[in-house]
């Protein structure tokens, strides 16, 4: 008997998976209409789902407290749902708000995406349910439309004013590639990322410093960027070309300048990274990653001592480049490492954390994996 059967007493109609992600480069650019380059992780949220005809939404998480959360699909109230259930409930709410005929469901979720690690565990929960609802209720939505619905759930049900990168990554990434995404019009291209062929690995260091984008700092940064764009009479900071950066900075209040500098230089780094990957120069990506980290640390100021230590240690131990990934304020670091140096870099980071008295990080190599899909 499967776990779904033991919880809900019958077999599911189908099983779907949606992954977490690491972002190679392009951080805090998505809510500025800019570019991002995420890669899906092998870690996924897996949802077994069955429709119900009584309008009840019954949610169970293998990582939860063993209880079934029971809600009415037609009466979902953001203020009344807490914890992990907000993500799947928010998707049903967002689909219904958009006029889609989504009714009751039994949902069993089992996720191995680390939570609070900047690896988009929440987008994985949202996207897996969006993909399941799309098929079970015959909605006919595209992956990008499902990603936008999942983002709406996070923005308006969960209350985190995130951009669209994480949901697009979870829905649209392909195995063996990075997703080059223009977050303004959602134009996308899969850029091949044959790490193994180039003798490279992508090492993820989850510092275990829990990041929480709901705590106001993320919203404050987003508001700062929007204020800067308005002061410069731009639709979004994406519209400021690097050549016009210096002239724009002097027109802005001092506290907004570093934010604008980060966003403009980071967009340029995404384009540079894509050019390197297109040219087959995967190792050339290293310095771009490290420059991205310096910008997040010194200009955007979203790194923390643990992520800074992981980056500095990885580079000193022979990584080609490293940076924090995700929203920041903790979370994870990625390092581009020659396969032959993987153990050495991982060991150096573990040693440095032990010496500094930090919690032991979780270290694992990331293989570019597939986006949301039906498993059975």
Q: Which residues are catalytic?
A: 166
Contacts to ligand GLA from residues 162-181, by CB under 6 A: 162-163, 165-166
Q: Which is nearer to ligand GLA, 41 or 136 (CB)?
A: 41
Q: Which is nearer to ligand GLA, 30 or 33 (CB)?
A: 30
- Residue 361 · residue 331 · CB < 8 Å: no
Size, binding site for ligand GLA by CB under 6 A: 11
The phi and psi torsions of 190 (rounded to 5 degrees) equal -85, 120
| CB 225, min distance to ligand GLA, A | 10
Phi-psi region of 116 (alpha: psi -120 to 50; beta: other; left: phi over 0): left
DSSP state of 24: S
Q: Which is nearer to ligand GLA, 8 or 329 (CB)?
A: 329
**CA 304 and chain centroid, separation:** 18
| CB 150, min distance to ligand GLA, A | 11
| CB 28, min distance to ligand GLA, A | 5
Distance CA 11, CA 108 (A): 11
Q: How many helices (H) and strands (E) does the chain have?
A: 11, 13
Dihedral sign from CA coordinates of 110, 36, 24, 322: negative
Question: Given candidates 8, 18, 28, 129, which one binds ligand GLA under the rule CB under 6 A?
Answer: 28
Pick the piece of the chain touching ligand GLA (CB under 6 A) from 26-34, 51-59, 333-341, 363-371.
Answer: 26-34
Residue 216's contacts (CB-CB under 8 Å, 6 or more residues apart) are: none
The phi and psi torsions of 69 (rounded to 5 degrees) equal -85, 125
Contacts to ligand GLA from residues 305-334, by CB under 6 A: 326-327
Q: Which is nearer to ligand GLA, 37 or 277 (CB)?
A: 37
Q: Which residues bind ligand GLA (CB under 6 A)?
A: 27-28, 30-31, 162-163, 165-166, 213, 326-327
């Amino acid at each position: 008997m499967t776990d779904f059967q033991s919880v809900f007493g019958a077999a599911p109609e189908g099983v779907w998976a949606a992954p977490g992600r690491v972002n190679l480069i392009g951080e805090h650019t998505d809510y500025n209409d800019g570019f991002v380059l995420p890669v899906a992780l092998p870690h996924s949220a897996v949802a077994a789902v069955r429709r119900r005809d009584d309008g009840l939404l019954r949610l169970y998480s293998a990582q939860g407290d063993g209880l079934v959360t029971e809600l009415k699909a037609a009466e979902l109230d953001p203020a009344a749902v807490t914890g992990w259930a907000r993500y799947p409930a928010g998707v049903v709410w967002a689909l219904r708000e958009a006029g889609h005929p989504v009714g009751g469901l039994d949902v069993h979720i089992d996720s191995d995406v680390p939570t609070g690690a900047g690896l988009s565990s929440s987008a994985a929960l949202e996207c897996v349910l969006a993909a399941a609802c799309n098929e079970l209720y015959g909605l006919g939505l595209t992956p990008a439309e499902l990603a936008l619905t999942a983002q709406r759930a996070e923005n308006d049900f969960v209350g985190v004013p995130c951009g669209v990168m994480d949901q697009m990554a979870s829905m649209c990434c392909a195995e063996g590639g990075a997703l080059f995404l223009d977050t303004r019009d959602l134009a996308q291209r899969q850029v091949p990322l044959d790490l193994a062929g180039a003798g490279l690995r992508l090492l993820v260091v989850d510092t275990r410093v829990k990041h929480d984008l709901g705590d106001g700092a993320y919203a404050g940064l987003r508001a700062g960027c929007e204020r800067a764009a308005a002061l410069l009479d731009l639709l979004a900071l994406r519209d400021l070309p690097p050549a016009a950066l210096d002239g724009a900075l002097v027109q802005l209040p001092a506290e907004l300048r570093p934010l604008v500098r980060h966003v403009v230089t980071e967009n340029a780094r995404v384009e540079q990274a894509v050019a390197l990957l297109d040219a087959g120069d995967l190792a050339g990506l290293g310095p771009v990653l490290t420059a991205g980290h310096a910008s997040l640390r010194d200009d955007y100021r979203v790194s923390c001592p643990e992520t800074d230590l992981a980056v500095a240690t990885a580079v000193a131990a022979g990584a080609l480049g490293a940076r924090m990934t995700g929203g920041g304020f903790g979370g994870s670091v990625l390092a581009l490492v020659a396969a032959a140096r993987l153990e050495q870099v991982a060991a150096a980071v573990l040693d440095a954390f032990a010496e500094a008295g930090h919690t032991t990080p979780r270290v694992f190599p990331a293989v570019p994996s597939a986006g949301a899909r039906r498993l059975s």
